[in-house]
Amino acid sequence: MNNLQHLFSMHMVLSTLRLAIPLTLASIGSVICERSGIINLGIEGMMLSGAFGAVFGTHISGSPWIGMLVAILVGGLFGLIHALLCIRYRTNQAVSGVGINIFASGITIVLCQVVWNKEGLSGEVTAIPNVTVPGLSQIPVLGKLFEKQSPYFFITLVIVAVSWYVMYRTKVGLRLRTIGDNSKAAATAGVNVTRYRYVSVIVCGMLCGLAGSFLSIVQSNLFVKDMVAGRGYIALAATIFGGWNPFGSFLASLLFAFSQALRINIELDIPEQFLQMLPYLLTMVVLIIAGRKVKGPQESGDIRD
């Protein structure tokens, strides 16, 4: 087998892009959340609830698009819970996230049994079909990106662009970044800090829900217990590795997705555990090198006022 040829094949590119979708979505949510001063360790649970919500919504309505909306709603609901606990009741943000993860892992399995009478497994539903963009798919080489591509790919690109634009080119984004670094200054300038935080955490939940739905009704057509399998934490790593910037999140997600694609598609001499470890190792290195100068939101995880 010619590994090098595989390494740069279109197949690897497409595989990487596909694997990057859920990471990017959840990571951008996490960026928005942390910029408002709140760490979300519940990404994993929010994605999981979204994955379940998507299958459940599709099961009830028959339409996977409705399933996607349900996933966004369920994710947003979990976001609201995290927001209420952290903002209104001043719960330790890390504890709240851990609680949400355990709760989501349990409740999705319980509901599988209630709805489908199966242990940790849902029934099969209709998945969101891939699309081929007429015209664009005819372009040589690049056309492959538009051929039998998941609509989520395009949704993700739009979200990357929009979230980057809002964060760095609008007043809303400027205020959000100010809140994360110095909420007092933002409040003094007349910004409704609390409202920004609620919206940010809820949007994060919605993006996580959307990310989860990709796993259950795009990549697959059913819910399996704990199917997020640590991707929430990889998304968190991508948040840091990407420098708390939506576009950075996208690049970091691509890198981490590439290491996953390597593991899945190519036989290497590197033990697969090291590839699995890579996102965390790289992020750890970044944290250590950047150290004190890490450009993250200064007040993230520690809201006072």
Partner 1 sequence: MSREKKAGSGRWTSGLQNIWLSVIAILLSLVITSIIMAASGNNLAEAYSALFKGAFGSRNAIANTLAKTVPLIFVGMACAFSNKGGIFNIGCEGQLYSGALAAAVAAIFLQGAPRILVIPAAFVAGMAAGMLVGGLNGFLKAKLQINEVLVAIMLNYIMRYLTSYFVHGPLKDPEASVAQTVAMDDTYMLTKLVPKTQLTTALLLALVIAVLLHFFFLKTRTGFNIRAVGENRLAAQASGIAMSSTIVLTMAVSGALAALTGVTEVLGKTGKFVDGFSPGYGFTGIAVAVLGRNNPAGVLLSALLFGIMESGAMKMSYVAGVSTSMIKVMQGLVILFVATPNLVSFLRRRKGERKGE
**106 binding partner 1? (CB under 8 A):** yes
The label of the residue with tokens 């796993």 reads 215
Measured from the CB atom, the residue of 18 and 197 that comes closer to partner 1 is 197
- 205 binds partner 1 per the rule CB under 8 A: no
Residues in Cβ contact with 145 at an 8 Å cutoff, skipping those fewer than 6 apart: 14, 17, 153
Distance of CA 52 to the CA centre of its chain: 15
By CB under 8 A, the count of residues binding partner 1 is: 53
Nearest residue to 76 via CA among 176, 213, 180, 191: 213
Question: Least CB distance from residue 52 to partner 1, whole Å?
Answer: 12
Does residue number 41 form part of the binding site for partner 1 (CB under 8 A)? yes
60 binds partner 1 (CB under 8 A): no
- Cβ 215 to partner 1, closest distance in Å? 19
Write the DSSP assignment of 36-83 as a string of letters.
Answer: TT---TTHHHHHHHHHHHHHHHHHHHS-HHHHHHHHHHHHHHHHHHHH
DSSP helix/strand/coil, 131: strand
Choose, by CB under 8 A, the member of 105, 149, 150, 216 that binds partner 1.
Answer: 105
- HSE (side-chain half, CA atoms, 13 Å) at 125: 33
From 57-65, 91-99, 132-140, 170-178, span contacting partner 1 (CB under 8 A)? 91-99
Quick note: the x/- pattern for partner 1 over 281-300, rule CB under 8 A, is x-xx--xx--xx-x-----x
* Selected range binding partner 1 among 20-28, 158-166, 249-257, 266-274, rule: CB under 8 A: 266-274
Q: How far is CA 254 from CA 15, 61, 259, 279, in A?
A: 10, 33, 9, 11
One of 6, 13, 80, 103 touching partner 1 (CB under 8 A): 103
- Using alpha carbons, select from 36, 19, 21, 5 the residue that is nearest to residue 301: 36
Binding residues vs partner 1 (CB under 8 A): 39, 41, 81, 85, 88-92, 94-96, 98-107, 109-110, 112-114, 119-120, 194, 225, 230, 233, 236-237, 240, 271, 273-274, 276-277, 279-281, 283-284, 287-288, 291-292, 294, 300-301
